[in-house]
Amino acid sequence: MIRIMQNTDVDIVVQIEKSVQTHPWSRQQFVESLNSYQCTVIESQNRVVGFCILQPVLDEANLLLMAVDPKMQGQGLGYELLNASIDQLKNQPVQIFLEVRESNKAAISLYEKTGFHQIDLRRNYYPTPEGGREHAVIMVKTCTDDFASLF
């Protein structure tokens, strides 16, 4: 089941974030995001196992953060969560943007499967645990087919 994130979900979402990110968001950032962004979660067996945070901006949106519990990855939950979260955007964006670590091949594959494609590379964007920097792949999904059907 995919639904809007609640305050009661924040602790488990923070745990998931810490399990997948080298520089995770703080609990406070998640709490603040509930009022500012579209935050959704996916449940499996009545337990939150993933989350997606989208930032609607006029006729666009930014995918700020998304993660699935590592124990639940590879089951299509990320694909289901991302598609449902995009469908729930109230601003019906023409384009959705995201940045992802160049080394995160699984995420890039998921995004491509969902209709995103690379448009640029932001060099030395992400810090690495070793103290270096890693490139960010900038991707976009154009929703013009959906947008055109509104007219």
Q: How many domains does the chain have?
A: 1
Q: Is 111 a catalytic residue?
A: yes
Q: Which listed residue (17, 37, 111, 126) is catalytic?
A: 111
Q: Is 32 a catalytic residue?
A: no
Q: Which listed residue (99, 102, 125, 134) is catalytic?
A: 99
Domain of 113, in residue numbers: 2-148
Could you read off the pLDDT of 76-128 as tens digits, one per residue?
A: 999 999 999 999 998 888 899 999 999 999 999 999 999 999 999 999 999 88
Q: Using the predicted structure, report yes or no on whether residue 2 has a pLDDT greater than 60.
A: yes
User: Tokens at residue 100, please?
Assistant: 């992802």
**CATH number of the domain within which 62 lies:** 3.40.630.30
Q: Which band of pLDDT confidence, cut at 50, 70 and 90, is reported for residue 145?
A: low
Kindly report the pTM of this predicted structure: 0.90
What is the rounded distance in angstroms from the CA atom of residue 78 to the CA atom of residue 90?
A: 20
